[in-house]
Amino acid sequence: MSADLHADIADVADVVCLGESMVTFVPSSPGRLADVPAFSRGIGGAESNVACSLARVGHTARWISRVGADGFGDHLVAEIAAAGVDVSYVRRDPDRPTGIYFRTAGERALTEEDEGKLSEVVYYRAGSAASAMSPRLVPRERAWSGRVLHLTGITAALSDDCHTLMRELTTRAPGRPLLSFDVNYRTALWRGQDSGRLLDLARGCDLVFVGEDEAVAAWGLRGADAVRGALPEPAVLVVKQGSAGATAYARQPNGGDVVTFEPALDVDVVASVGAGDAFAAGFLSGTLRGLSVAARLRHGHLMAAAALTVPGDLGTPPSRERADGLVALDAGAWGTLRFGPGWTDTGTPGTVRAEVPHP
């Protein structure tokens, strides 16, 4: 590492998140994109969502990306910084634009058969500033400047340069931080590409998140055990099982796994976008704090409940004190919880059942 680059590396963050963020436009009223008269502006990006959520619960988080030298880039950087995230390694590209996308409410399609049945999502990200990320433009020393580096499969699909960067960052080498990887399979991004590359990247990581539905769509793998069979390398594999819950496989020093399942919470869903990112942030927060795998899963479910009960990508997480109190409930009490809009904003149960304690 050169002396100049060393001087440019800030203090080690808890988590570094690298990937594209875009300005998102959400319809002001229900309906097809063709019929919606107006949109509200927000931000969306799997990796920056994780960074913002972690910063809001007291961790130091850094986001690395490239945005255009345009107003949308200004907006993205300002909004993510306002959440408490370090954006000092974000670079502006004078020749390429910031990506944007338009969506309706609802779930994203994971298969071509589902497209048109679920939410509409239209991306304008081809040739974006973030798609130019490469090992030359993103020095490994910056990406490895945290206790954890969090990546997603979205980045690998943006361009050949991005895929090359992902391969370099996930290569096991001295000085590499704990490598967290969320598969985040997107049908539209991988059309015409080999989604098996996602499996190869995941095999190089220490902590991997994947949804059961994603594993079927991307690799034809059915069931959590089948996913673990295809991904034995990560020390921890978390298989998200939708409204049922999530299963974690944690490899033991003497071989074999401890398998932990935690049921999901009962949530009055406003929009599902961003829930997976929030879950990853909750699990990472528990990992950074050295909590048990079961507690990490529960923190993931709580963060997801915060995202599910708001219309945008980012919900307001519960305070650490309140989250710890809920995570400590016995299985019976955990199973009685129900969350609705406003449960974290007001500090009162809101539309949550009365069984929810407030520390």
Find the catalytic residue in 277, 313, 324, 345: 277
DSSP assignment of 64-80 equals: E-EEESSHHHHHHHHHH
Question: What's at 115, amino acid-wise?
Answer: E
CB 215 within 8 A of CB 184: no
Q: What distance in Å separates the CA atoms of residue 278 and residue 221, rounded to the nearest whole number?
A: 24
Strands (E), the chain: 13-18, 22-27, 39-44, 61-64, 66-68, 91-93, 100-103, 121-124, 146-152, 178-182, 207-211, 236-240, 245-251, 257-263, 266-267, 338-339
Question: What is the distance between the terminal CA atoms of the chain, rounded to a whole angstrom?
Answer: 48
Q: Is 237 helix (H, G, I), strand (E, B) or coil?
A: strand
Q: Is 329 helix (H, G, I), strand (E, B) or coil?
A: coil
Q: Note if 11 is an active site residue.
A: no
**Dihedral angle over CA of 129, 190, 150, 231, nearest 10:** -160
User: Which are the catalytic amino acids?
Assistant: 277
